[in-house]
Amino acid sequence: MGEQMMSNRVTVSAVLLGTCLFAAGLVQAKDKRVWSPLETDGIHDPDAPGLELLQWPDEALRAMLPDHPGIGNQVDWLRATSAGQLRPVDALYEVTRVRQRDKDIVMGRTGEMAMVRFPHGSHSREMDCDNCHDQFFVAKAGANHANMFSILAGENCGRCHGAVAFPLTECRRCHTDERGGGTVPGVQAGQGRQYDPVVTR
Ligand code: HEC
Ligand code: HEC
Ligand code: HEC
């Protein structure tokens, strides 16, 4: 009886520990991501003589924190960067001024959808302001008129999302702030990631 209780307790704490590790993203469920070989990925020339010198996606990407299978190259680049799995250089030249901005902008012209929270923080850790200002966006809250038609046509956010950043079918990654939840459109403190990251699959 005592032994039974003891082993129950051991099982329970093992389960608890497992759950905590899971929640912390340290233990991954079986990784189901599959990457096409370079010669059939539709990007590389299958006849290129240098192909065999390149690192294989499976080898390069498997170790990185996952995004959903089927989303881009299935790596959560922002989370992989904050976890130190890759350390992009900020600039090639010392004279380059590295700029960072952390304010979010809540964009409210979303009809019945939840409002869009544009995070300057995540974007300016990945790229300089010049990538967006002022060619794609005027640096003034509310001054840009985006809608899903223009975005799907590759304008505004659609310059990158659906091309090199997560696809436009991920509505909830942009449309995060429910109307009536107390958030008002405009410049706000940066809140960090607003959707659940993929920890297991
Ligand atoms: C990359 C970010 C992003 C994603 C992903 C995204 N949207 Fe939007 N959406 C926006 C922005 C930005 C606006 C314009 C907000 C503004 O100007 O105030 C907008 C506007 C809208 C509007 C109101 C304007 C219009 O075009 O009717 C609707 C409705 C909408 N989105 C629905 C969706 C749905 C449904 C999805 C998923 C299929 C989606 N959005 C995915 C960023 C996004
Ligand atoms: C990925 C694109 C992108 C990048 C990179 C970016 N911004 Fe913005 N910025 C936006 C968008 C989108 C808005 C909001 C436009 C709107 O509400 O119509 C904005 C608005 C602004 C505004 C006006 C609102 C406010 O916060 O006062 C300023 C100022 C600004 N950006 C400065 C910067 C600076 C400085 C950097 C670099 C550190 C930067 N931005 C990088 C897209 C970007
Ligand atoms: C110049 C390219 C570019 C433009 C323009 C751009 N983004 Fe992004 N965005 C990225 C990249 C790169 C990432 C990081 C990779 C990823 O998550 O796919 C990202 C990530 C995000 C994230 C996830 C942030 C996080 O911390 O998880 C959101 C939300 C987002 N973008 C919304 C928007 C909205 C809304 C717009 C338009 C108002 C926009 N982006 C315009 C390149 C861009």
Domain boundaries, the chain: 1-30, 31-88, 104-188
Whose CA is closest to atom 37 on ligand 1? 171
Question: CATH second-level architecture of 104-188?
Answer: Alpha-Beta Complex (3.90)
pLDDT at 6 over 80: no
pLDDT at position 64 is: 94
Q: Which is more confident, 29 or 172?
A: 172
Angle (CA) 88-91-94 rounded to 5° is 135
C-alpha closest to that of 193 among 100, 125, 133, 122? 122
Q: How confident is the model at residue 30 (pLDDT cuts 50, 70, 90)?
A: confident
Distance 169 CA to ligand 2 centre (A): 23
121 CB near ligand 3 (under 6 Å): no
pLDDT of residue 43: 87
Distance 52 CA to ligand 2 centre (A): 41
Is the peptide bond between 130 and the residue preceding it cis, with omega within 30 degrees of 0?
no
pTM for the model stands at: 0.88
pLDDT tens profile 88-145: 888 999 999 999 999 999 999 999 999 999 999 999 999 999 999 999 999 999 999 9
- Whether 65 lines ligand 3, by a CB cut-off of 6 Å, is no
Report how far ligand 1's centroid is from the alpha carbon of 150 (Å).
10
